[in-house]
A = this chain, B = another copy of it.
């Protein structure tokens, strides 16, 4: 059902049911700690309660009514045209079909519409995250900075940027 030939729908409006979908998707990847999963859901709550003023924008990819992945992005406070790509996550069972790439492209389009020119994405420098880093690099993101031991001893933060 989740092949590339399925009928894929993009949805930008958020719904309260997205709390559960975001938790399910982020947990399924096996990449994130409980605290990180909670943060992902908190951003949905912020958007649900504050609307665009929350600073969090979402894009959901739906296949036959099932949410296969989502992106969360938004303007960085006190900057003129910098945006953060906070989350890109695709359900573990739906990976390998280009949904992640599609979510990045959709987010970039929306960020441009919102006046964004520089898009930042942060991830870990640990070996486990090499697929994530390679993914951003394939999407045209370049390393802007590496902050040693940022997340923990031996766990650097890698900051990517794409000028769009």
Contact = CB atoms under 8 A, between A and B. Distances in A.
Copies in the complex: 2
The SS class assigned to the A binding surface is strand
A78 B36 contact: yes
A10 interface: no
Contacts of A36: 78
Interface in A14-48: 33, 35-36, 39
A79 B151 contact: yes
Contacts of A144: 145, 147
A80 B161 contact: no
Interface of A: 33, 35-36, 39, 76-82, 118, 120, 144-147, 149-153, 155, 159, 161
